[in-house]
Amino acid sequence: MPKEGVKGAFSLPTVWHQAKPWGIPPYPSRGARKDARARRRRTRNPLGLVLFLVCLLTLGLAILAQKGAVWAVEVDGRRVAAVDNVDAVEAALAELERTYAGGGIQWRHRVRVVRAWAAEPVPASADLADELARSLGLLVTGTALKIDGEVKLVFNNRSTAQIFLSYLTKSYLSGGNARFLEQVELADVTVPVTRITDIHTALAQATGKTQATETYTVRPGDTSWQIASTFGITPSELAAANPGIDLERLQIGQKLNISREKPLLTLVTTEEVTRIETMPAPLQVRRDPNLYIGQQKVVQPGKAGQKEVTYLITRHNGVEVGRQVLAWKVIAEPIPRVVARGSRLMLASRGGGQLAWPARGYVSSRFGNRRGGFHAGIDIATGYGAPVGAAEAGRVVYAGWRGAYGRVVEISHGGGVTTVYAHLSSIVVSVGQEVNRGQVLGYVGTSGNATGPHLHFEVRVNGNPQNPLKYL
């Protein structure tokens, strides 16, 4: 700016009249003052105004910087949060998209992010997502049903949860007491609105079954079959849940996976039940020497009795798992059924009806099932070379080698009755020979499949093995 201009801006130019001759100072005329004001308006510089505006702007920026610029998040036109970084808003919105996009809830259009000035505290991004969810109605407070410490179902309030438990209890309880096998508790939780369950859906889940896996530790004496039976699964299902493990060679302390269907909740009910039950007539058997073996006759038909029994029945989800007898009394005693069964052996005409012991010794193996299979006779242990006699008179129908039996003699006594003598060291009779009771047939040995000297003795009726001890 020219010096004249600066000077003009800070001076007041005037036009002075001539001084009075009497020495009074000259005074500017009215017209001169008007001209001076016009000149000042023309020559004034805007520097003062500029300086004023700069100061005002600096002060405003300082105030705004102190308060801070933020991003305001609004839901339905209402501000719910403010953050200093728009990335935090984007992260919160992305989290809501991931969490709630599959729920079929349209909420995106209700959220708006605007630039604003604020001095309030800035929430963390996690808090922002929760606050948005609450404001949008996506995150709600409900009542959780915890089973063994784990949240399984969430209801909109505690009253609904209690109604659900009441319905579940009534569906299985016809009387008596009820409790849950699992630890059940109710707790207030904040969850996505999509987690809220209605009573009908919850009942369907509770009464259905899900696949659950648990761990079992092998104990002394355990077998794969016993373990599978204990948990109500098949051995093949146990094997499928434990690939790579040889279930035939289990080790004590070994961990096995048990995979089976398990209900969400197990309601245990106990109930006292009194019932009238039938007492079957006991069977009494009498030996009748006048009847042949295989014959029988009813001496007394018998009659069933009745008794009143009170049980304590335990059920899991309505299925009985055990019962205990609390009391019982007989209402009508049963009358026994008496049957006479023949004990007379149908032998040759010269037989006496009772068989003689074919050798001296003791019974080392009895008739019936044993570890190696079914044993069709008895084994009489005695010394090697001891004589073997006929148990009753008859005719020799076989004398020779018969596989695992070794050297064998078989005698027919008539009426379909035969006796067999096996593992002989030697035979002294021949086929077709008639023998008497006690006559020597051969001598004890170890021929065939025998672990030591003994006589294998059988009694057969119509080809069917009978217990020899009943006839000796």
Is 291:297 a contact under the CB 8 Å cutoff?
yes
Helix, strand, or coil (residue 449): coil
Is 391:373 a contact under the CB 8 Å cutoff?
no
Domain spanning 345-470, CATH architecture: Distorted Sandwich (2.70)
Closest CA to 385 of 445, 297, 313, 449: 445
Q: What's the Cα-to-Cα distance from 466 to each of 294, 368, 375, 449, 461, rounded to whole Å?
A: 11, 9, 10, 21, 7
* pLDDT per position as a tens digit, 296-332: 899 999 999 999 999 999 988 888 888 899 999 999 9
- The token duo for 247 is 């279930």
* pLDDT per position as a tens digit, 165-200: 888 888 776 666 888 888 999 999 988 777 888 888
CA pair distance 23, 20, nearest whole angstrom? 6
Query: Which tops the pLDDT comparison, 45 or 414?
Result: 414
CA pair distance 299, 272, nearest whole angstrom? 41
Extract long-range pairs of 85-88: CB within 8 Å, 24+ residues apart: 86/113, 88/124, 88/125, 88/128
Rounded to an integer, the average pLDDT of 368-387 is: 88
* pLDDT per position as a tens digit, 43-73: 555 666 667 676 777 666 555 555 556 777 8
SS3 content of the chain, % helix, strand, coil (to 5): 25, 40, 35
CA pair distance 427, 280, nearest whole angstrom? 53
* pLDDT at 3 (0 to 100): 38
Count, residues in the chain: 472
Helix, strand, or coil (residue 50): helix
* pLDDT at 310 (0 to 100): 95
pLDDT at 123 over 60: no
Rounded to an integer, the average pLDDT of 351-371 is: 80
**Topology annotation, domain 211-263:** Membrane-bound Lytic Murein Transglycosylase D; Chain A (3.10.350)
**Domain boundary assignment for the chain:** 3-43, 69-137, 142-208, 211-263, 270-343, 345-470
pLDDT at 109 over 70: no
Whose tokens are 């100072």? That residue is 25
* pLDDT at 349 (0 to 100): 36
| Residues forming beta bridges with residue 146, ordered by sequence position | 151, 185
CA pair distance 82, 88, nearest whole angstrom? 10
CA pair distance 242, 264, nearest whole angstrom? 24
pLDDT at 201 over 50: yes
Is 236:229 a contact under the CB 8 Å cutoff?
no
Is 324:270 a contact under the CB 8 Å cutoff?
no
Give the DSSP H or E segment for 226: helix 224-230
Question: What is the CATH code of the structural domain delimited by 270-343?
Answer: 2.20.230.10
- Of the pLDDT bands very low, low, confident and very high (cuts 50, 70, 90), residue 350 is very low
CA pair distance 265, 167, nearest whole angstrom? 13
pLDDT at 432 over 90: yes
| Residues forming beta bridges with residue 409, ordered by sequence position | 399, 421
Query: Which tops the pLDDT comparison, 193 or 399?
Result: 399
Helices (H), 76-186: 86-100, 125-136, 158-172
The C-alpha angle with vertex 408 and arms to 403 and 414, in degrees rounded to 5, equals: 125
Rounded to an integer, the average pLDDT of 82-98 is: 78
Is 459:351 a contact under the CB 8 Å cutoff?
no
* pLDDT at 410 (0 to 100): 96
CA pair distance 208, 434, nearest whole angstrom? 76
Residues 6+ apart with CB under 8 A from 100: 107, 133, 138, 192, 194
Is 261:241 a contact under the CB 8 Å cutoff?
no
Helix, strand, or coil (residue 383): coil
* pLDDT at 17 (0 to 100): 38
